[in-house]
Amino acid sequence: MKEIILYDIPGKTQEGKAWSCNTWNARFALNLKGLKYKTEWVEYPDIEALCKQLGAPASGLKSDGVTPHYTLPVIQDPNTGKVIADSSAVAKYLDATYSTSGPRLFPDGTGVLQSAFSDAFVSACFWVLYPVVILATCKHLNPRSYEYFRRTREETMGKLEEVVPEGTEKGETKWKELEEGMTKVAKWFEAGGDKPFVGGDLPIYADIQVAGMLIWAKNVLGKDSKEWGRISAMNGGRWGEFLKDWEQWSQIM
């Protein structure tokens, strides 16, 4: 097979070059299925033009409620000529197109459950982590993306330095909310007994969402940072260990 192209946003460090939660979700899917692919790096201000050129659909609307909003990941598959945007659509496309490669990410009878899981996980954890890591995410970018990211995010969130100020009560409240959200997810995992993944012995897409969020936090906060230490240690160290299980699928091609 020819290499699939995965479009991703670069971070400014070599170690944390792939950092974005959503593009990691697509990469984890490719790695789990053992498919040949290569990453093309795209800075934020260039995403829209690239998507239009590839014919990739917008993933939603900008905050004005009218203008299409183009985001990554996008994959381009020269084997089929298909261009797919949005990480869960990528996972579903790979399941359907390469059904004999690696585990199914949406096994039969799990589509509705995984949709509910996604909603619940995103509201319990993703949107709570988002403000906690927004400043670190911005600082992790190359200059052109940094400027774009800060300007567009500050339009709705205000100054990024003020979102979760370190060592303040406001900041601690956000951290507490994050721990509550992760604890909720840890309780869901208990219903799976001793199995490491939501899917049991092998990951499904729901697991990818959890891993994608954790690797984002680890890469923008820094693996040796106090903040990543705090997240990885939550719920008896569950999340640091969970991400360790993903090292086998964390290669960047």
Nearer to a second copy, 51 or 204 (CB): 204
**What token pair was written down for 83?**
């261009």
The answer to whether 200 contacts a second copy (rule: CB under 8 A) is: yes
Cα separation, 80 vs 132, whole angstroms? 40
If the CB atoms of residues 197 and 216 are measured against a second copy, the closer one turns out to be 197
CB 121 within 8 A of CB 210: yes
113-122: long-range contacts (C-beta < 8 A, 24 or more apart)? 114/204, 114/205, 114/206, 117/188, 117/198, 117/206, 117/209, 118/88, 118/206, 118/209, 121/185, 121/206, 121/209, 121/210, 122/209
Interaction mask 160-199, a second copy, x per CB under 8 A: ------------------------xx-xxxxxxx-x--xx
222 interacts with a second copy by CB under 8 A: no
Binding segment for a second copy (CB under 8 A), chosen from 35-43, 104-112, 144-152, 238-246, is: 104-112
For residue 11, give the DSSP letter.
B
Q: Is residue 148 involved in binding a second copy (CB under 8 A)?
A: no
Using CB under 8 A, pick the residue from 50, 58, 89, 113 that binds a second copy. 113
Q: Which is nearer to a second copy, 58 or 113 (CB)?
A: 113
**Please, which of residues 117-146 interact with a second copy by CB under 8 A?**
117, 119-121
Count the residues of the shown chain that bind a second copy, applying the rule CB under 8 A. Answer: 29
> What is the C-alpha end-to-end distance of the chain, expressed in Å?
15
Our finding on whether 150 is near a second copy (CB under 8 A) is: no
49 makes contact with a second copy (CB under 8 A): no
Residue 220 makes CB contacts below 8 A (sequence gap 6+) with 11, 16, 19, 133, 136, 137, 139, 140
CA distances from 186 to 113, 124, 229 (A): 17, 11, 17
Q: Which stretch binds a second copy (CB under 8 A): 14-22, 113-121, 146-154, 242-250?
A: 113-121
Regarding 253 and contact with a second copy (CB under 8 A), the answer is no
User: Which phi and psi (to 5°) does residue 156 adopt?
Assistant: -105, -25
Q: Under the criterion CB under 8 A, does residue 112 sit at the interface with a second copy? A: yes
115 scored as a contact of a second copy (CB under 8 A): yes
**Distance (Å, rounded) from C-alpha 145 to C-alpha 138?**
8
List of residues contacting a second copy (CB under 8 A) = 107-117, 119-121, 184-185, 187-193, 195, 198-200, 204, 206
